């Protein structure tokens, strides 16, 4: 059984082929430029003129930040008051109280001269710093911790 087709009608695949042939071809792409022409150095933006050597007005004493060698500036970090605060050791360990009898733990919070380290240096929160100071004072009273460092007590080299 052959299909009867009209003389002007074409089958579907043939119609698609004819349609593709009838479409105009896209214009040819422009010839590629050589790589040397594409990679030309970019000119640096002009710098503002230098200021005259005049004494600064009152309030203008602040200087602009200096650039490092190579034109790079430091990003983040470095310096005081920047970055993330250390977590309190006692909060992390979920300590409910500070034991004055644990002198090896308390010694970590004393300076080399026997002074109690500040919160900023020790990294403790205010609540635990108060408890720590009280525990250190109690341990000193029981002679578990020194009030002063050994080299300060003996007085080596002093006339006192």
Q: What is the pLDDT of residue 151?
A: 77
- Which pLDDT band holds residue 46 (cuts at 50, 70, 90)? confident
- For residue 3, pLDDT over 60 is answered with no
Specify the higher pLDDT residue, 152 or 7.
152
Are 71 and 107 in contact by the 8 Å Cβ rule? The answer is no
Q: Find, among 112, 108, 115, the residue nearest to 140 by Cα.
A: 115
Per CATH, the number for 89-154 is: 4.10.640.10
CA distance linking residue 127 with residue 114, whole number of Å: 21
**Largest Cα–Cα distance in the chain?**
129
pLDDT at 153 (0 to 100): 76
Distance, in Å, from the CA atom of 138 to the CA atom of 71, rounded to the nearest integer, reads 56
> For the chain, how big is the Rg over CA atoms in Å?
40
């Amino acid at each position: 059984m052959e299909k009867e087709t009209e003389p002007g009608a074409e089958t579907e695949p043939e119609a698609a082929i004819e349609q593709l042939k009838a479409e105009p071809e896209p214009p040819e792409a422009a010839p590629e430029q050589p790589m040397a022409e594409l990679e030309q150095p970019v000119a640096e933006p002009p710098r503002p003129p230098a200021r005259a050597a005049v004494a600064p007005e009152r309030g203008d004493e602040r200087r602009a930040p200096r650039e490092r060698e190579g034109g790079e500036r430091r990003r983040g970090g470095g310096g005081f008051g920047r970055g993330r605060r250390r977590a309190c050791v006692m909060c992390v360990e979920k300590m409910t109280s500070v034991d004055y009898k644990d002198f090896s733990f308390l010694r970590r919070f004393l300076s080399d001269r026997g002074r109690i380290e500040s919160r900023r240096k020790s990294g403790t929160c205010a609540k635990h710093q108060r408890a720590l100071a009280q525990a250190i004072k109690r341990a000193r009273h029981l002679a578990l911790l020194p009030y002063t460092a050994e080299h300060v007590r003996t007085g080596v080299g002093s006339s006192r």
